[in-house]
C-alpha cells in the first residue's frame, strides 16, 4: 500500500527526493516541463547540498538556453549522471559534460521516451535499429560524451541474423511530471498543455519500481475529472504541487496560447523576407508532394511553413511534431513542440512508434556538417554539444529525407541580379567537409535502406547516390568549380546538373 496522496509546496515535495536516485523529467523546451519542481530542487541543493549524486533522465531538450528548465539542475555534485536526448537548450548541463564533471550519454529522444514504457513494464529495454552506425552505436562510442562515462548502456545484438541495438532498461526512482489540473483523487488532465509528452510512462515507471511521482499542476479541482480526459490516473501520484504564477507557463515563450489546444484554422504567418533561407525553403517545398505526412526540424527547416503559406500549399500536406501534435502549424523558438490549431495531440512515445515504423513521407532537417558519403553531423558544435533530439529516429526512418542548410555558414551574403545568384560575401565556415566529428545520420546505411536523400542549399542541390553526393542542380549564375567545388573539402560526383528552378530566386 502507498501512503495517501499529499498536496505539498514545491520545496516540501522535492525534499522527499533521496540522494543517489534516478530522476526522470517530462517536457520539451518549456512545454510540459515542471519548472516549479526543477527550480525548487535547485534551491534545495544550493541550501542543503542535497540531494546529490542524482541520475537525470529526459527524452526531449528542456530549457531556454540560459537559466530555466534542466539548467536548474546543472550543479556539480547534484548530478552524477545524465542520460538525455537534446542538450543545446540546457547549456549548463552541456558544460558539465564537456568538462567531465558528470557521466553523460546522448540517446535519441524517441528511444528514451519509449524506454520509459519498457522500464514501467519491467522489460529488458528497447530493441531497435535506430542509431545503428551512428555515434550512438556501441561500435562508435555508444552515445557516451566524455571519458568519465564508462558504463555501456546500449549494446549490439543479433536477432534473426540482423544487427539491432538494445538500449538497456534501469529503474526509475523519481518521476517529475506536469499537467494542467488534478482532482482530489490526483487524476491529471492536460487541457491547457500544448503536448502530452511521456507523463504516463514516467509515472508508471517510477510507480512500478517503488519510487516517487510528483506532479506539478495549475490547480486542483473539487470536481472529479472526466475519465476520458485523464492522462495520468491518481493511483500513480504521490504528491501534487500547485505551481506559483510564472512557473507553469504553457511554454517558455508564452504564458498561454489558446491556439495550441483548440481546433481551428491557423493564421498564416507573415511572409518571409527574401534571403538564402527563402531560396532553400522554396526548393524544399518542391519535394513535398500533396498528401504527404511531414516532420520539420527546428531552425532552417521552419522556413518551409511561411513559404508554403505564401504559395497556398500549407493545407496540402500534414505537418507533425515529434512531441505529439498532428496537423496545424508548428510553433518555433521557445514554443517549439506545440502547434497552432492541431487536429490531434497524441503522446510522444506513440508518435515515435509511428515515425520508427516508416510513417513519415518526408522529413526536412538541418545539418551542421556533411561528408562525402552523405553522413551528417548535427550534434557536435565545437565548444558545445547540441545532442540529437528526435533527429536520429526521424532521419533514419522517413521515406524521403531533405537536409537543408546554407552552402557555407557565417557571414554569407547573397544577391539576385536578373535571376542570377551572386555570392557577395562568402561564408566563413565550410559545411561540406572531409570528416565530420560525429555521425548522427549515416549515408551508406541510408542507401542500403533505399531512402531518398537530398541536400539542399541556396546554390546547389545534391542527392545521395551510389558513390556519395551527386551534384544534380546548380543556381543560375553560380560557377561550379569556383563557387561550389573550391568551397568544399571534397569533390562531389558531377554529371549533367540541371538549373535550380527559377521561381526559387524570385525577390519577393
**Euclidean distance between CA atoms 95 and 440, whole angstroms:** 21
The whole-number average pLDDT for the span 300-316 is: 94
- Does the pLDDT value for residue 321 go beyond 80? yes
Per-residue pLDDT tens for 488-497? 999 999 988 9
The whole-number average pLDDT for the span 288-294 is: 98
Per-residue pLDDT tens for 349-384? 999 999 999 999 999 999 999 999 999 999 988 777
- Catalytic member of 103, 193, 276, 322: 322
Q: Percentage of residues in the chain with pLDDT exceeding 90?
A: 94
Per-residue pLDDT tens for 388-428? 999 999 999 999 999 999 999 999 999 999 999 999 999 99
Active site residue 322: yes
- Does the pLDDT value for residue 171 go beyond 70? yes
Q: Percentage of residues in the chain with pLDDT exceeding 70?
A: 99
**Euclidean distance between CA atoms 274 and 137, whole angstroms:** 41
**Euclidean distance between CA atoms 395 and 403, whole angstroms:** 9
| 6-242, CATH topology level | Glutaconate Coenzyme A-transferase (3.40.1080)
So what's the pLDDT on residue 119?
A: 98
Per-residue pLDDT tens for 125-157? 999 999 999 999 999 999 999 999 999 999 999
Per-residue pLDDT tens for 424-456? 999 999 999 999 999 999 999 999 999 999 999
**Euclidean distance between CA atoms 359 and 348, whole angstroms:** 14
7 CB neighbour count, 10 Å cutoff? 15
The whole-number average pLDDT for the span 206-232 is: 98
**Start-end ranges of CATH 3.40.1080.10 in the chain?**
6-242, 276-505
Count of residues making up the chain: 508
pTM tops 0.85:
yes
- Does the pLDDT value for residue 2 go beyond 70? no
- Does the pLDDT value for residue 1 go beyond 90? no
Is 276-505 in CATH node 3.40.1080.10?
yes
**Euclidean distance between CA atoms 48 and 462, whole angstroms:** 56
Q: Say which residues have a Cβ less than 8 Å from residue 316's Cβ, sequence separation at least 6.
A: 290, 291, 308
Q: Say which residues have a Cβ less than 8 Å from residue 160's Cβ, sequence separation at least 6.
A: none
So what's the pLDDT on residue 267?
A: 80
- Quote the mean pLDDT of the chain: 96
Amino acid at each position: 500500500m502507498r501512503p495517501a496522496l499529499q498536496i505539498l509546496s514545491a520545496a516540501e515535495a522535492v525534499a522527499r527526493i533521496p540522494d543517489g536516485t534516478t530522476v526522470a523529467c517530462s517536457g520539451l523546451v518549456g512545454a510540459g516541463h515542471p519548472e516549479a519542481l526543477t527550480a525548487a530542487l535547485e534551491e534545495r541543493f544550493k541550501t542543503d547540498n542535497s540531494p546529490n549524486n542524482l541520475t537525470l533522465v529526459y527524452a526531449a531538450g528542456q530549457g531556454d538556453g540560459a537559466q530555466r528548465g534542466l539548467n536548474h539542475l546543472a550543479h556539480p555534485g547534484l548530478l552524477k549522471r545524465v542520460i538525455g536526448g537534446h542538450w543545446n537548450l540546457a547549456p549548463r548541463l552541456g558544460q558539465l559534460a564537456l568538462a567531465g564533471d558528470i557521466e553523460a550519454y546522448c540517446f535519441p529522444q524517441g528511444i528514451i521516451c519509449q524506454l520509459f514504457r519498457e522500464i514501467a513494464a519491467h522489460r529488458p529495454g528497447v530493441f531497435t535499429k535506430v542509431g545503428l552506425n551512428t555515434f550512438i552505436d556501441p561500435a562508435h562510442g555508444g552515445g557516451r560524451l566524455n571519458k568519465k562515462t564508462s558504463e555501456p548502456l546500449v549494446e549490439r545484438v543479433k536477432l534473426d541474423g540482423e544487427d539491432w541495438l538494445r538500449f538497456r532498461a534501469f529503474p526509475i526512482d523519481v518521476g517529475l511530471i506536469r499537467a494542467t489540473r488534478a482532482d482530489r483523487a490526483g487524476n491529471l488532465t492536460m487541457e491547457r498543455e500544448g503536448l502530452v509528452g511521456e507523463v504516463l510512462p514516467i509515472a508508471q515507471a517510477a510507480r512500478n519500481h517503488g519510487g516517487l511521482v510528483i506532479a506539478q499542476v495549475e490547480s486542483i479541482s473539487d470536481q472529479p475529472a472526466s475519465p476520458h480526459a485523464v492522462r495520468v490516473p491518481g493511483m500513480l501520484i504521490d504528491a501534487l504541487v500547485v505551481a506559483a504564477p510564472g512557473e507553469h507557463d504553457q511554454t517558455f515563450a508564452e504564458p498561454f496560447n489558446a491556439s495550441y489546444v483548440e481546433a481551428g484554422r491557423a493564421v498564416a504567418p507573415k511572409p518571409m523576407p527574401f534571403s538564402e533561407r527563402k531560396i532553400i525553403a522554396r526548393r524544399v517545398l518542391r519535394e513535398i508532394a500533396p498528401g504527404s505526412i511531414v516532420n520539420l526540424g527546428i531552425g532552417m527547416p521552419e522556413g518551409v511553413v511561411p513559404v508554403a503559406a505564401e504559395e497556398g500549399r500549407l493545407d496540402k500536406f500534414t505537418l507533425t511534431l515529434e512531441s505529439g501534435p498532428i496537423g496545424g502549424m508548428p510553433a518555433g523558438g521557445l514554443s517549439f513542440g506545440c502547434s497552432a490549431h492541431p487536429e490531434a495531440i497524441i503522446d510522444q512515445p506513440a508518435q515515435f512508434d509511428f515515425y520508427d515504423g516508416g510513417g513519415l513521407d518526408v522529413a526536412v532537417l538541418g545539418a551542421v556538417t556533411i561528408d562525402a558519403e552523405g553522413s551528417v553531423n548535427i550534434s557536435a558544435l565545437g565548444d558545445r554539444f547540441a545532442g540529437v533530439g528526435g533527429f536520429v529516429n526521424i532521419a533514419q526512418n522517413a521515406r524521403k529525407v531533405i537536409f537543408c542548410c546554407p552552402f557555407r555558414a557565417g557571414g554569407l551574403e547573397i544577391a539576385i541580379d536578373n535571376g542570377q545568384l551572386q555570392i557577395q560575401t562568402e561564408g566563413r565556415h565550410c559545411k561540406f567537409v572531409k570528416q565530420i566529428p560525429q555521425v548522427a545520420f549515416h549515408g551508406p546505411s541510408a542507401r542500403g535502406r533505399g531512402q531518398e536523400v537530398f541536400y539542399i542549399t541556396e546554390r546547389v542541390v545534391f542527392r545521395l547516390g551510389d558513390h556519395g553526393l551527386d551534384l544534380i542542380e546548380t543556381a543560375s549564375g553560380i560557377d561550379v568549380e569556383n563557387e561550389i567545388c573550391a568551397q568544399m573539402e571534397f569533390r562531389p560526383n558531377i554529371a549533367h546538373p540541371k538549373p535550380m528552378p527559377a521561381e526559387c530566386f524570385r525577390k519577393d
